[in-house]
Amino acid sequence: MTLQQLKYVIEVARSRSISKAAQNLFISQPSLSNALKELENEIGIMIFSRTNKGIILTPEGEEFLGYARQVVEQVALLENRYSNTQSVQQHFSVSAQHYAFAVSAFVRLLKEYKRDEYEFTLRETKTYEIIEDVKNLRSEIGILYVNDFNRNVIQKFLREGNLIFHELFEAKPHVFISSGNPLAKQDYVTLTDLIPYPYLSFEQGDYNSFYFSEEILSTISRPKNIRVSDRATLFNLLIGLNGYTISTGVISQKLNGKDIVAVPLRVDERITVGYITHKNVTPSPLANIYIDYLKESIAEEQAQV
């Protein structure tokens, strides 16, 4: 087993294609296939399975990939510490629902990461895709919420994907509204107060189930509904249309300014936000640092509420 073979496995898992991985690695496809076959024969497991949708990791392959990443990252740390050679480009990915604190932590990580080369990815995406990203090792960390309504369904998908939910904090529901909204100066709002205003939510694509909704109370019928796919559009519509959305109340003034405010929503609900990881993968040093920054960002932004 060689370090190069481990790098091959990591790249194929990332690309989910032998041909694309070969291009990225600047080697021929037959050479890459042979190297992977030799490795599988040596360690006695099948790392990848070929399907109509492309290359996927087997359960044994998922576990092997976790160890391979640790070895490659530790070698990179040694090279960066004791060698004058060019540093190895590092990869790190996070998939998240649309939370400002996830972005704040990502910004901190990048500012503290003193390297000339890296490839980091932050995907603000749909709930089902977050689970799929971590399950298929496209992302090391996924950030989402559970509550009494969706907990059983989300936990079922997490169990089936060998994923673990780690709680970050519990929050009382708030509405995000424009600072110019007539409700902005109230101590709290009720669902009745919100009826005249457009309700904004994040669309969930093919998995547009109430259980995958990014907002609680998704089963309630509302007269005015707008679905969006990104946070910037949602905030622009909150301001332009005096709309509202329901979230945790944790908001970053550094990223979002003072045009959006959080007002408590008087309902008997709680939101538990956490991050998910793969059971068979030990978090990388970058993942552990990001998690620490997540907790710090949440604490700072909660203090603003």
- Rounded CA-CA distance 193/207 in Å is 30
For a pLDDT cut of 90, what percent of the chain falls above it? 53
What percent of the chain shows pLDDT beyond 70? 94
Pairing of strands 54-57, 48-51: antiparallel
Phi-psi region of 239 (alpha: psi -120 to 50; beta: other; left: phi over 0): alpha
Q: What is the b/e burial string over 13-29, where b = at least 16 CB atoms within 10 angstroms of the residue's CB?
A: bbbbebebbbeebeeee
CA atoms within 13 A on the CB side of 141: 28
**pLDDT above 60 for 47:** yes
- Average pLDDT of span 57-74: 86
**Distance set, CA 113 to CA 20, 137, 141, 237, 289 (Å):** 28, 22, 18, 35, 10
Q: What is the pLDDT of residue 231?
A: 86
Q: Which residue would you say has higher pLDDT here, 201 or 24? A: 201
What pLDDT was estimated at residue 175? Answer: 95
Angle made by CA atoms 214, 164, 7, in degrees to the nearest 5: 105
* pLDDT tens digits, 180-235: 999 999 999 999 999 999 999 998 887 777 899 999 999 999 999 999 988 889 99
pLDDT at res. 227: 93
Q: Nearest-CA neighbor of 275 among 163, 151, 186?
A: 163
The residue-averaged pLDDT of 108-124 equals 84
Rg value, the chain, Cα: 22
Residue 290 has pLDDT above 90, yes or no: yes
Number of Cβ within a 10 Å radius of residue 217: 17
Q: Model confidence at 80, in pLDDT bands (50, 70, 90)?
A: low
Q: Mind spelling out the 3-state secondary structure of 161-210?
A: CCEEEEEEEEECCEEEEECCCCCCCCCCECHHHHCCCCEEEECCHHHCCH
Q: What is the dihedral of CA 220, 223, 224, 226, to 10 degrees?
A: 40
Cα–Cα dist 113/54, whole Å: 33
- Tens-digit pLDDT profile for residues 226-276: 999 888 899 999 999 999 999 998 887 776 668 899 999 999 999 999 999
Binning pLDDT at 50, 70 and 90, where does residue 304 land? low
Going by pLDDT thresholds of 50, 70 and 90, the confidence category of residue 88 is: low
Q: Higher model confidence: residue 201 or residue 27?
A: 201
pLDDT of 43 reads 92
pTM over 0.75: no
Question: Can you point out the beta strands (E) in the chain?
Answer: 48-51, 54-57, 90-96, 118-124, 141-146, 163-171, 174-178, 199-202, 225-228, 244-247, 260-264, 271-278
Encoding tokens for residue 66? 């976790």
Helix (H) or strand (E) holding 13: helix 3-15
| Span 136-171, pLDDT tens digits | 888 999 999 999 999 999 999 999 999 999 999 999
pLDDT of residue 195: 96
